[in-house]
Amino acid sequence: MKILLIASSLLLAVFSNSVLSAEYIYRDLMANTLPSIKCESPEKAIKSATKPYKIKRSVKKFCQTQGYGWGIQKVKDDGKVVCNECTDNASLQICHVEDMIVNCKRLKPGSVGMLPGQG
């Protein structure tokens, strides 16, 4: 009885590994974040442009613009901070991050789940 149980669980383990593979499609994107709304001192403007929350939100939007199912794989390059002077006050600035490179991924169609005609 124990030999039958061990043999059946071994066979199940061998044949179940081939079903769990998934393939992904990867795409690299280069994009810029949006500048902040208000004018700030140069130090605060740079800090505001590089906040982790703002970067994470922007990266997520970059990948989602590719269509349904696209998600973030990793950020390849953080880009550079670019600041512009405000029109009403030259001592204040608005900053944003330019040329961020993001690697996005999505499941390759047909790599997971039921294949057409094989049900």
List pLDDT tens digits, range 76-110. Answer: 999 999 999 998 888 999 999 999 999 999 998 87
- pLDDT score at 14: 63
Confidence band, pLDDT 50/70/90 cuts, at residue 119? very low
pLDDT in tens, 58-81: 999 999 999 999 999 999 999 999
How many secondary structure helices (H) and strands (E) does the chain include?
3, 5
Residue pair 82/98 in contact by the 8 Å Cβ criterion: yes
